[in-house]
Structure 1
Amino acid sequence: MGATTGDRYECVVAGADILGEVPMWCERTRLLWWVDVRRAALQSYDPATGRHTARRVAEGMLIGSMALRRNGGFLLATDSGFYTYDPDLAEPPRPLFDPEPDHPGNRLNDGRCDRRGRFWVGSMVDAERIPGGRLYCLEADLRCRTMLEGIVVPNSIAWSPDDRTMYFADTHRQLIWAFDYDADDGVLSRQRVFQDWSHQKGRPDGAAIDADGCLWNAMVATGQLVRHTPDGRVDRIIQLPVSNPTCPAFGGDGLDLMFVTSHSQRLGDQLAREPLAGGLFVVETGCQGLPEPRFAG
């Protein structure tokens, strides 16, 4: 394993994902699941055996994020809307609906479930960096509410352990926001800047909350994992051997391992200097995470 700033990391799957994203630990299967957005590949890693599997879900589909479902299988958020999918069945994804049928250039991107079983997901214009995206909240009965508009690249959806604060980032603007969160009604209020990275190189991508209520962010372009305390202070930085980590997630039987996805797209000549780009990493942080919520629909 490689040592960095007192922490330990290992590349456990050198799969060279084009755009690895949204890792999540499933306590039922005891597997770490994630996607390669550009290949529409649903992947799993078994830390007990080291086994890696990858399934091509649908040709031509872009899977921006997903959620575990309480009734089994996954909810997929794609470039053509929401689908359900069970990798144990020899069936294609089943379409639910598209929240943006009049915006064919948009796709759904980062998404996570809150602890009441709602799925929160952001959309974005895939080909351009313009503020044409939205943040949606999908209820268990499939009612879909628009919560924010004018988003460029949605990321970093996470909640504090007490469910009173929700975090959300626009990667392009290099801003992480915090909101007061009403978990009973799924309502946001009192938006404020939690962290402003606009004067630095790094851009906040995916995020995870640890049991102490600290927000871990994967920082695209700097290769860093950054831990923020609940008051917004940076108290730890872990340097990885790739420029573009994309999202962290706690996993393992004790939720004490941090898994981190990464991407290899648009690196050009730099790819030769980063042979592990697009790999899946596990980082020993000494912290513990929280169970991954499941979609109630």
Structure 2
Amino acid sequence: MRNLLQSTVLLLFISISVQAQSKKDQDRQAIKDMCGCYEVTFKYAETFSPDGNYKKHDDYYASALEWAQLIEDEENKISIQHLLVVQDTMVIKHWRQDWSFEDPNLFIYDANNTWNRVEKDDQSIKGQWAQKVYQVDDSPRYSGSATWIHVDGKKIWQNTTPAPLPRREYTHRSDYNIMERNNQVQITTYGWLHEQDNSKVLHAADADDRIIAEEKGYNIYEQVADERCAAAQSWWEANQELWAKVRKEWDRILASKERLKLKKKVDGKRLYSVLFDLKPTATTAEIHQAIIAFVE
């Protein structure tokens, strides 16, 4: 009888472990399904404001050809670098997304180009994947943790987290300083969809946060033949070692700080401009000097 009970418990444990691993494999595949060559459409529209006198800003539309390059593929971490193909021979390094399984360490945006390191408890992130999004210079942008859901043929991940102003607005908007992003990533038959329900929030140290306006956003990634992004693939081959060094330097800086504040400009230049000017053969010391000049 005792042996039968032990065998039953063992079989139950194995069954649970297999199911958990199968779910994790589904998660990993969904994340990697975001790699490839895509025609991307960006659409944003302000939908509501609690201020009856607020004048909504114009809708935003843009399109691009983008290559999403898998640069890390480990059991508990997947990293994807996005590259814009402007012309057949012109490529611009775009954003990066890292996915890490049951990761307790997140960076949370706190306005004024400042991020706080936050440690989650193990129970709250069980089975979850953290998405960490980085800017074009590999500095932090936003991060959040949630569970991938696979149901009725759908593959969805959803999280709400604060972020800096989007690139389409940070140069000409000063009425808000935090974008509270509700991000939904969904793998689709045509590629994938980044759907957003955002709040534009004015944060002040001496007052309650105030919502200026709400916004609906769609980043629609329609997959096309990889050959159309050949220029981006070649560019990454020539520049990947430089950006691996940049990522390593950022990892060192982020690990050493509970709170990170970055200067917007140094000597009239933004950090991405300084890093983009580096040669592919730049040394670790040169990269360190370039980044550390912007850290307050």
Per the TM superposition, whether the score is higher than 0.5 is no
- TM-score, normalised to structure 2, is 0.30
Structure having the larger proportion of residues in strand: 1
Structure having the larger proportion of residues in helix: 2
Greater relative contact order (CA < 8 Å, ≥ 6 in sequence): 1
Larger radius of gyration: 2
